[in-house]
Amino acid sequence: MRCFARPLCFLLMMFLAAQAYAQHASTPIQRPGPEFGEELQTEALHLGDTMDVAVAGDHVFAIGKGELRILSNARVGKPALIGKLEGLGNTRQIAISRGHAFITSREDGMFIVDVREPSGPRLVHHYDTAELATAVAVSGDVAAVGNRFAGIELLDVSHPEQPRHLSTIRCGEVQSLVFHGTWLCAGTWSEKTVAVIDARDPWKPALVKMVPLDGKGDGLDVSGNMLAVATGHHARTKGIPKPGGAAYGSGHGVEFFDITNPADPQRLSGVKFPPFYRLGMDMWGVVLAGGHAFVNDTHNGFFLIDVRDPAKPRNIGWTQLPKIKGDPSPVAGLAVAQGRVFLAGGFDDLHLVETGIRDAEPVLTEGGLQVPKQPAEVSAHGLPKYVVEGSIRSVVPWKDDLLLVAAGSAGWHIVRQTSAGFEPVSQHPTRGFARDVAFEGDHVFVAESLGGLSIWQKQPSGGLQRLGAYEVPGKSIHQVVLADEGRIAFLAVGANALHVIKISHDGKTELVMPPVMNTGLFYRDPISPLSADGRRVLVQWHVTGLHEFIIENGTVKRGSWTFPHAMDTECGATPWQDAWLATSHRGFFTLAEGETRPAEKIGLLKPADRIFPGKPSLSNATLYIADPFLGDVSAFDMSDAANPKLTAELHLTGHPGRVVVHQGHALIPAGREGLLLWNR
Q: For position 364, what pLDDT does the model report?
A: 80
Quick check: is 194 in a domain?
Answer: yes
Quick check: is 499 in a domain?
Answer: no
pLDDT, tens only, 213-249: 999 999 999 999 999 999 999 999 988 889 989 999 9
117 Cβ contact list (under 8 Å, min separation 6): none
Say if residues 469 and 417 touch (Cβ distance below 8 Å). no
Quick check: is 431 in a domain?
Answer: no
Q: For position 444, what pLDDT does the model report?
A: 98
CATH of residue 339's domain is: 2.130.10.10
Number of separate domains in the chain: 1
Q: Taking the chain, what is the end-to-end CA distance rounded to the nearest angstrom? A: 24
Say if residues 497 and 517 touch (Cβ distance below 8 Å). yes
Cβ-count burial 243-282 (b if 16+ within 10 Å, e if not)? eeeebbbbbbbbbbbbbeebeebeebebbebbbbbbeeeb
The three state secondary structure string of 125-185 is: EEECCCCCECEEEEECCEEEEECECCCEEEEECCCCCCCEEEEEECCCCEEEEEEECCEEE
606 Cβ contact list (under 8 Å, min separation 6): 587
pTM score, whole prediction: 0.94
Bridge partners of 180?
183
- β-pairing, 509-511 vs 497-503, is antiparallel
- 600-609 CB contacts, 8 Å cutoff, 24+ apart: 605/642, 605/644, 607/636, 607/644, 607/645, 607/646, 608/646
Q: For position 22, what pLDDT does the model report?
A: 40
DSSP secondary structure of 268-332: EEEEE------SSS---EEEEETTEEEEE-BTT-EEEEE-SSTTS-EEEEEE-PPEETTEEPPEE
Q: For position 315, what pLDDT does the model report?
A: 99
362 Cβ contact list (under 8 Å, min separation 6): 221, 223, 287, 288, 289, 336
Say if residues 425 and 414 touch (Cβ distance below 8 Å). yes
> At residue 124, what is the residue type?
V
Among candidates 529, 162, 566, which has minimal Cα distance to 371? 162
Q: How far apart are CA 448 and CA 412, in angstroms?
A: 9
Residue 435: Cβ within 10 Å count: 30
DSSP state, residue 660: E
Quick check: is 602 in a domain?
Answer: no
Q: For position 26, what pLDDT does the model report?
A: 60
Cβ-count burial 7-35 (b if 16+ within 10 Å, e if not)? eebbebbbebbebbebeeeeeebeebeee
Quick check: is 424 in a domain?
Answer: no
Say if residues 283 and 219 touch (Cβ distance below 8 Å). yes
Q: How far apart are CA 497 and CA 123, in angstroms?
A: 27
Quick check: is 672 in a domain?
Answer: no
Quick check: is 385 in a domain?
Answer: no
Residue 108: Cβ within 10 Å count: 30
Q: How far apart are CA 516 and CA 500, in angstroms?
A: 9
Q: For position 377, what pLDDT does the model report?
A: 78
Say if residues 606 and 619 touch (Cβ distance below 8 Å). no
Q: How far apart are CA 648 and CA 383, in angstroms?
A: 14
Q: For position 303, what pLDDT does the model report?
A: 99
Residue-number span of the structural domain to which 271 is assigned: 6-25+39-354
Residue 431: Cβ within 10 Å count: 16
Residues of the chain with pLDDT under 50: 1-25
Quick check: is 332 in a domain?
Answer: yes
